Structure 1
Amino acid sequence: MKKIITLLTALFSVVLVLSFSHKVLADDDTPVVTLGTSLTDSQKDGTLKTLTAPLNGGNYQTITVTGSDLVKYLNPSGDNFTTSSGVWSSAMIQKTSSGSGINVKILDYNGKNNITTITANQYKNAALTAGITDANIYVTSAIPIDGSGALAGVYAAYAKNGNALNQKQVNAAQDEMNTLSGITQDNKNKKGYSDAQLNNAVAGAKNEMAKQGQNISDSQIRDIVNNQININHLGNTINNNQKNQIVNLLIEIRDSGALKNGDFKGQAAKLSSQIENGAKNIFNKFNTPENRNWLQQLWDSIVGFFSHLFGGIILG
């Protein structure tokens, strides 16, 4: 009888452990909504309604992002927030299946996009650099604001679920948002330029860097940047100063340890594919003969000439 009781007790203990473990995993996968501490009650309600709409009534957790969070996550990269700084931009992060990549959508608040500076693709690249993988991220703001602090809430949400991010990567991610948004602002309305091209070039560069590994040199990174700028037809718009900014940014990303993450390469490749699919009207033009660079046309002509020449000799 004692043996039976002991066995039942052991089985009951196992069931309790498994149930607790399942609960923890379920909590980890529950979407987290971050609310800026400066929001009024009405704005909080509106922000929650906006951010949770994609969940269709599903469960979620909420955390409040304060000036202290801005100081913790953003000041190391050069910002000057204080513990009393206001926070309005808010976000929701939802874990997705492995290999799905990082998806970002900026949601209108009461019919208006109040994120005035940072683009969805810039958020995607920054999230990748910070070490975030396979997630849906939604961003909104109740008032017009640049949106640079929105990812601070995502970083805090990660920490809440026991997945604290590497601060060096977070610093690089914030520098990346500042750099890419600055370049886009400088080239705004310039013919032959789009934010999608720039972010695709950066995502492509990250993918190429990851293939070569952590020991990639500065000169190799510069070669990769030059190649990606040409591939994305930005040679006539990106100036040398902007090119150097991109090179220095990617060197910082390498030095942050981001390339050590085994998922980095796959996530970067997925991001590039997403950017291209989201801007087919731009990237499809690059695949036409009229828009291929003259070096490629010259190379095709040479190859075609010799193929015809030697083909004729063989046939004769």
Structure 2
Amino acid sequence: MKKMISIITIILAISLLAPQAGSANVGINEKFGVPIVVYGGNLSDAEKESVAGSLNVAEEAEVEEIEVTGEDLITYIKDGDPRARMYSSAKITRKEAGEGLVIQIVTPDNITQVTSEMYANAMLTAGIEDATVEVAAPKAVTGHSALVGIYKAYEVNGEQLDPERTDVANDELEVATELADKGVEDEKVSELLTEIKKQIAEQNPATREEVEAIVEEQLSKLQIELSPEDRQLLVDLMDRIRKLDIDFSQWSTQLEDLSKTIEDKIGTVVNDDGFWQSVKDFFNKLIDGIRGLVS
């Protein structure tokens, strides 16, 4: 009986230390509507079911489910190919103004190129703010089609996105993944894009030459080496961003919030001495408990 109590105590300790489940379901958000789940149009029935499981669709009080196909590319991307294969999917839950973007790739092994920071940066360029977005795929894919699905979800939800901004955002995602493919670390790519865009927001450059100076400054600051062709690609992208109809005074704050959110997520656990002490104490007690069971 004593050993049984010890086992129960250990199990209880593990359950208390483990991350707790999310807060209780508060029901349907009547202000923003239900979460929208966008499935890649080329998913098989079995793959769609797998994605629904990854996105915890069954746990929602209610969702709206739609599909994104190659035909949708034409709406949001000027040179979109209607024959494109679409597999990556997403669940979008809109939030209150000021809450920012929270992007979670729930099947990280299956989204091979696009990172959560790349999604967030592209979404801000497209004019999408204040949402929780979960991305999933049933097999290894680059992750590009999820962004088009997010655009479609917003328009289904009554938002009107600027097609010029969505097209530039797609270019941004292409540049980001291309730089990463050529050896620049994913985190460095996201940092570079964010910092350049912050400087554009703060300095409000009037010419391409001024944009080029900002790009060169940030490349030097972050110690990133690019080929002349890739530098040109980056300048072309940022000059397009400069010309967008964006309230740069607000955009700077949003980009700063994005950077801070990433830093806070990393720093919270790493710098939390109390957390690590609790882990140490737990395992010491666990070892003592196991010794007691076998003695």
Same fold judged by TM-score > 0.5?
A: yes
Q: Identify the match of residue 242 of structure 2 among 239, 242, 254.
A: 254
What does residue 12 of structure 1 align with? none
Question: Relative to structure 1, is the Cα distance of residues 71 and 270 closer, same or farther in structure 2, using a 3 angstrom cutoff?
Answer: same
Q: Identify the match of residue 144 of structure 2 among 139, 144, 148.
A: 148
- State how far apart, in whole Å, the 1-side matches of 2:66 and 2:248 are: 27
1:188-221 Cα distance to aligned partner (Å, 9 max, x none) = xxxxx422122112112212211234x6322221
Question: Relative to structure 1, is the Cα distance of residues 232 and 29 closer, same or farther in structure 2, using a 3 angstrom cutoff?
Answer: farther
What does residue 242 of structure 1 align with? 230
Please say if residues 39 and 48 of structure 2, whose CA atoms lie closer than 8 Å, have aligned partners that are also in contact.
yes
Equivalent residues in 2 for 1:1-316, closer than 5 Å: 26=30, 28-52=32-56, 56-74=59-77, 76=78, 78-82=79-83, 85-108=84-107, 113-187=109-183, 193-213=184-204, 216-234=206-224, 237-257=225-245, 259-260=246-247, 263-277=250-264
- State how far apart, in whole Å, the 2-side matches of 1:40 and 1:122 are: 27
Cα drift, residue 126 of structure 1? 0.8
Point out the structure with max Rg over C-alpha: 1
Cα drift, residue 260 of structure 1? 2.9
Higher mean Cα deviation, 224-233 or 196-205? 224-233
* Count of aligned positions: 241
Unaligned segments of structure 1, at least 5 residues:
1-23, 188-192, 281-316
Normalised by the length of structure 1, the TM-score is 0.69
- State how far apart, in whole Å, the 1-side matches of 2:157 and 2:80 are: 25
Please say if residues 196 and 275 of structure 1, whose CA atoms lie closer than 8 Å, have aligned partners that are also in contact.
no
1:158-214 Cα distance to aligned partner (Å, 9 max, x none) = 111111210000110111111111011011xxxxx422122112112212211234x
Cα drift, residue 27 of structure 1? 6.0
| Letter aligned with residue 212 of structure 2 | R
- State how far apart, in whole Å, the 2-side matches of 1:230 and 1:72 are: 37
The percent of aligned pairs where both chains have the same amino acid is 27
1:276-305 Cα distance to aligned partner (Å, 9 max, x none) = 45667xxxxxxxxxxxxxxxxxxxxxxxxx
Cα drift, residue 127 of structure 1? 0.7
Please say if residues 32 and 60 of structure 1, whose CA atoms lie closer than 8 Å, have aligned partners that are also in contact.
yes
Question: Relative to structure 1, is the Cα distance of residues 29 and 238 closer, same or farther in structure 2, using a 3 angstrom cutoff?
Answer: farther
Question: Relative to structure 1, is the Cα distance of residues 278 and 199 closer, same or farther in structure 2, using a 3 angstrom cutoff?
Answer: farther
Please say if residues 102 and 271 of structure 1, whose CA atoms lie closer than 8 Å, have aligned partners that are also in contact.
yes
Cα drift, residue 33 of structure 1? 0.7
Question: Relative to structure 1, is the Cα distance of residues 38 and 133 closer, same or farther in structure 2, using a 3 angstrom cutoff?
Answer: same
Normalised by the length of structure 2, the TM-score is 0.73
Unaligned segments of structure 2, at least 5 residues:
1-27, 268-295
Question: Relative to structure 1, is the Cα distance of residues 35 and 184 closer, same or farther in structure 2, using a 3 angstrom cutoff?
Answer: same
| Letter aligned with residue 254 of structure 2 | Q
- 3-state DSSP class of the match of 1:28? coil
